[in-house]
Structure formats: structure tokens, C-alpha cells
Amino acid sequence: MFTGIIEEVGKIAAFERGEAGNARVVVECSKVLSGTATGDSIAVNGVCLTALNLTPESFSADLAPETLERTNLGDLQPGSLVNLERPLQLSARLSGHIVQGHVDGTGKVISLEQLGEDNWWLKVEVPEDLDRYIVFKGSIALDGISLTCASIENRVLGVTIIPHTIQHTALIACQAGCRINIETDILAKHLEKLMQRTS
């Protein structure tokens, strides 16, 4: 379980595809390695991965074909920046919102425009099957970042990015056309299923 509060921006050191449609990624980082043991979870761009081959400067993770298909991790290459977060500790404050690290799909970045004083406006085209879970002023995780929906119209999501977020995440590297991971609010999905059962 995560909160969508990014702890560190890591860098992809290596990305190797396997013969079975899988891949292995090596992530350079430091902060998220503190207190992390082999087999622990680390969210990479909002995707819950198992940390392997820990060194003082990096960890590796295996990516299943499903992960590569459903998320933007298959677009990574050496030098790519990624958002990193360790799992929530039970004694910690929930500063963002409940993020499982189970990405629902990817959206297409339409634009990232500066509003002034290092505030930004991010527009993302969301898949049709995810649109119903996104509500005005609701929470959403984009590349693992807990954000608030400021607008949603015709499957275009708009969020304001404050200076702290742009300075401490990999969002600054986003360009029009790139894929971004989307995890919608788990509560909306549970409510939908419950309503289907009672109707």
C-alpha cells in the first residue's frame, strides 16, 4: 500500500527484455533503499515492484508481460527518470490517498504547460474504460503521484502541478504524446461492483 507521495526520483541504469515477453530493470537511487530488504516492494512510476539485487546505489526488478502491456514501464530506457516510493508504514500519516500500486492503464499526455511561478497544468487523455472512475476534485494517481482532478471533460483530465511536485518528481520530463500510468480511486471500483450486485 502506498500514498502517492513520491520519495525520490530514480534513474534507469539498465533495461533488458527477456525472450518470454518479460524484462528486468535496474534503477539507480539511494533514499528508497534505506530500510529496504530483498523482496520488499517499491513503487516505480506507481507500479508495485519487488526489489531484487540490492546494492548501496540501486535495485533490480522483474517486469511481467502484463506489467509491460498495462503500464508505461515498457517505454523505459537507460537514463529515463522514474518516481519512487516505499510502502506506507502503519505509523505514518496518509498524506496523499490510498494507492495500491496496481495500475489500471495508461493515458496519453496532451500537454504540460507552465502557469507561472513554477505551477503547471497537466492534461491527459484517459482511456474510455477508466473515465467513469474519475470525478472532479477526486483523487487520482499519475505515474504514482497522488493528484487531485481539477477538470474532467470528454475524457481529458486536467490537474494542477504545484512547484514542490514538479521539483521532486519525474513529471518535468513528460512530453506530449508520452504514456502516463493511471491508477483510479479503488473506492470507486468497489462501489461500482457493489451497485451491480444490488441492481
Catalytic site residues?
Answer: 2, 41, 48, 50, 64, 102, 148
Shortest CA distance to 100 belongs to which of 197, 199, 189, 193?
189
Inter-residue contact 187 to 109 (CB < 8 Å): no
Radius of gyration of the chain (CA): 17
The single-letter DSSP state of residue 92 is S
Q: Annotate 176-191 with b (16+ C-beta within 10 A) or e (fewer).
A: eeebbbbbbbbeeeee
Shortest CA distance to 141 belongs to which of 90, 191, 180, 93?
180
Shortest CA distance to 171 belongs to which of 117, 120, 127, 135?
120
Distances (CA, A) of 116 to 7, 15, 55, 156, 158: 25, 36, 40, 22, 16
Rounded Cα gap, residues 123 and 156, in angstroms: 7
